[in-house]
Amino acid sequence: MTAPIRDAFPVLARAGFHYLDSAAMAQLPSAVVEAVAHHDLSARANVHRGLHELARRADDAYDGARQRVARFLSAEADEVVFTGGCTLALNIAALALGEKLGPGDRVVVSAAEHHSNLLPWLMLSQRKGFEVVSLPVDGDGRLRLDDLSLIDGRCRVVAVTHASNVTGAVTDIPRLAEAAHAVGAKLVVDGAQMVPHGPVDPRALGADLYAFAGHKAYGPTGIGVLWGRRELLAELPPVLWGGGMVGVVGPTDAEPLDPPERFEAGTPPVAQAVGLGVALEWMCGLDWPSVHAAEKELTRRLLAGLAGLDGVRVVGPPDLEARLPVVSFVVAGCHPHDLSHLLGERGVAVRGGAHCARPLMVALGLEEGCVRASLAPYTNRADVQALLDGLAHAIRVLR
Amino acid sequence: MSEELYQQAIKDLAAEASQRLEAPDASATLDNPLCGDTVSLDLRLSQGRVAALGHGAKGCLLCKAAATVVAQAAVGLEAETAVALADRVGAMLKQGAEPPLPALAAFLAVRPHKSRHGCVLLPFKALAKALGR
């Protein structure tokens, strides 16, 4: 199943190389590399500004990329805002939705958030005076949704991750959408980890704004997406100002364009958007039921292998239900950084540390962080076995 | 390569017990955001010298081992000399300078691993910070 998929990723052909760090950055299929290069060689121009031939080509490429993203999200093109990344998309969401918030208002996040979906709200709350509260997690890092009383009449926004970048636990977004909408709150979803594992329909999920990154979805760096319901985007103010996003500009004021351009101040990442469009089109061409079955089997193997190693404790759900193929763990007596270093020396790429999720580390009692192995459609059994073998070796070296 | 980096001398240093000082004259805590290492360091000073040092290190093996070196070597040093250690250890790791302390010879194996330099430097930077730098 994975052989044809792996063939699309030249870097994976390196001997003795086992890439299990896709949750940090996925690898690029050749088609994306070629599309970006082709664009820069044949259509490099600014967009929505020029009238010459290259400018027309750039316009077509950029608008076409937006349509490809929209298809991936089962959305309309004017609901797709290109940003410089997921972090910027989430900051735009916070700044736009937070503009009218103040004392007495509440934003509900969760203890499982990546800093990108937490710090924008915390910092804004200091200026605006609203409160930020967190939904707790259980011992497996899953959001506890049995008590949603925090989402009450004061709540204006619920901002949560679709899937944890540490534990891989998938959040029940429809459940939270129901709770948020029942009190008139908007639901912001951080889809950075979910999107690399298949097309998403944020409207059907009940999200109001949905953000993701290109570099985790087999696309280039420097590109992200903020999807928003058309009617909501039309209400929100721009948070960045500059060229390309205004209509009438007077001596003391300016009138922003309609979405999505309203949120795309300055020259956008054109070639990166083109690359992302091709990446998502590549994803749409995969047989996702088969990919998910393969990912599940590899996750099962990994969890079983880890359980057989002395002193290893899995962080996050121990089972295969409602989870991504992202598995974190700690090893008694071995620091995650040392383990990651030793695995790296054996060609096994993983990530060790706090994973930009300090509140979750605290909630799970992981003062020294954890090691994360993150799988992708191109991961195979040899990758998982290399991790398990390398881990056994690392433990021997460190103890 | 890994056996050299994680040689027994480093592991022995990392395994040394550590203790904070009560009522120190100065303290400092530094984090390494890359990996989550944290070093807290307490000092007692007398006539411009480090008279006593306590510390607590939560971190990787290299960080803990380096913290032990700081704890063992800094007592008795003039404050200025102790502050300068951070730069001298940095020069040892990054520019090929000789180890400024005999116990640091074991850390020469860290030189090729740039991403780990910060782990070794953190306790020395905490020492400098506690001394007001």
B31 touches chain A (CB under 8 A): no
A369 CB neighbours in chain B (<8 A) are 35-36
Joined together, the tokens standing for residue A144 give 């506890």
Q: Report the pLDDT value the prediction gives residue A4, as an integer from 0 to 100.
A: 86
Per-residue model confidence (pLDDT) at position B1: 61
- Maximal C-alpha separation, chain B: 44
Residue corresponding to tokens 């998938």: A170
Q: Where are the domains of chain B?
A: 2-130
* Pick among A315, A328, A337, A339 to test the B interface (most B CBs inside 10 A): A337
Which residues have C-beta within 8 Å of that of residue A267, sequence separation ≥ 6? A46, A47, A243, A244
- For residues A277 and B121, what is the distance between their CA atoms, to the nearest angstrom? 43
Name the token pair of B102. Answer: 């005999």
B7 touches chain A (CB under 8 A): no
What topology does CATH give the domain A287-398? Aspartate Aminotransferase, domain 1 (3.90.1150)
Among A362, A137, A348, residue whose Cα is nearest residue B58: A362
Most distant pair of Cα atoms in chain A: their distance: 70
Per-residue pLDDT tens for A164-202? 999 999 999 999 999 999 999 999 999 999 999 999 999
Quick one: which of A370, A368, A360, A369 has its CA closest to A118? Answer: A360
The answer to whether the CB atoms of A397 and B1 lie below 8 A apart is no
In the sheet where A80-83 sits, what is the strand order? Answer: A80-83, A224-228, A209-213, A186-190, A155-161, A106-110, A131-135
Residue of B1, B35, B119 lying closest to A345 (CB–CB)? B1
Q: Over the stretch A47-65, which tens digit does the pLDDT of each residue have?
A: 988 899 999 999 999 999 9
**pLDDT (tens digit per residue) in A26-41:** 999 999 999 999 999 9
CA distance B58 to chain A (A): 7
Report the distance separating Cα A194 and Cα A23, nearest Å.
Answer: 10
Contacts of A297 (CB under 8 A, 6+ apart): none
Question: Is 60 exceeded by the pLDDT of residue A218?
Answer: yes
Inter-chain touch B113–A335, beta carbons under 8 Å: no
CA nearest neighbour of B13 among B107, B130, B84: B107
B116 touches chain A (CB under 8 A): yes
Q: What is the pLDDT of residues B67-89, one digit of tens each?
A: 999 999 999 999 999 999 999 99
Is residue A260 exposed (0-12), middle (13-18) or buried (19+ Cβ within 10 Å)?
buried
Chain A contact present for B108, CB below 8 A: no
CB spacing of A368 vs B3 below 8 angstroms: no
Residue A308 has pLDDT above 80, yes or no: yes
Residues of A serving a catalytic function are 356
- Distance, first Cα to last Cα, chain A: 38
> Is A40 in CB contact (< 8 Å) with chain B?
no
How high is the pLDDT of residue A219?
98
Number of A to B CB contacts under 8 A, please give it. 45
A368: contact with B, CB 8 A cutoff? yes
C-beta atoms of B60 and A367 within 8 A: no
d(CA A209, CA A375): 26
What's the length of chain A?
399
Distance CA A285, CA A292 (A): 14
Q: Which residues of B touch A367 (CB under 8 A)?
A: 36, 58
Q: What is the pLDDT of residue A110?
A: 98
Quote the CA–CA distance of A391 and A340 in Å, as a whole number. 9
B6 with A398: Cβ contact below 8 A: yes
Give chain A's mean pLDDT: 97
Task: Please report the pLDDT score of residue B118 as a whole number.
Answer: 94
Distance from CA of A133 to the nearest CA of B (A): 24
Q: Which CATH number fits domain B2-130: 3.30.565.10, 3.90.480.20, 3.90.1010.10, 3.40.50.300?
A: 3.90.1010.10
Q: What is the pLDDT along chain B (133 residues), one digit of tens a residue?
A: 677 899 999 999 999 989 999 999 999 999 887 667 899 999 999 999 999 999 998 899 999 999 999 999 999 999 999 999 999 999 999 999 999 999 999 999 999 999 999 999 999 999 999 999 8
**A212 — phi, psi (to 5°)?**
-155, 165
B114: its two tokens: 């740039």
Mean pLDDT of A270-274: 98
Instruction: For residue A320, give how far its alpha carbon lies from the nearest alpha carbon of chain B (Å).
Output: 28
- A322 pLDDT higher than 70: yes
Per the listing, tokens 């040093």 go with B77
Option in B1, B36, B62 nearest A353 (CB): B36
Mean pLDDT is lowest, of A123-137, A214-228, A278-292, B3-17, for B3-17
- State the average pLDDT over residues A69-98: 98
Domain A31-284 bears CATH identifier 3.30.230.70: no
Write out chain A residues lying below 8 Å of B110, CB-based. Answer: none
The pLDDT value recorded for residue A3 is 65
Do A369 and B35 count as a contact with CB atoms less than 8 A apart? yes
Say yes or no for a CB contact (<8 Å) between B36 and A337: yes
**A398, B61: Cβ pair inside 8 Å?**
yes
Q: What b-and-e string marks burial along B28-50, b requiring 16 or more CB atoms within 10 Å of the CB? A: bebebeebbbbbbbbbbbeeebb
Evaluate if residue A134 carries a pLDDT over 70.
yes
Q: Does B60 touch chain A (CB under 8 A)?
A: yes
> What are the chain B neighbours of A354 within 8 Å (beta carbons)?
36
Where are chain A's structural domains? 31-284, 287-398
**Inter-chain touch B35–A397, beta carbons under 8 Å:** no
CA distances from B129 to B15, B54, B84, B92 (A): 24, 14, 11, 20
Bigger pLDDT: B32 vs A70: A70
Task: Flag whether pLDDT at A118 surpasses 90.
Answer: yes
Q: Which amino acid appears at position A211 of this protein?
A: A
The residue among B47, B107, B39 whose CA lies nearest residue B80 is B47
**Mean pLDDT on A368-391:** 97
* Model pLDDT for residues A229-256, shown as the tens digit of each residue: 999 999 999 999 999 999 999 999 999 9
Residue A268 banded pLDDT, cuts 50, 70, 90: very high
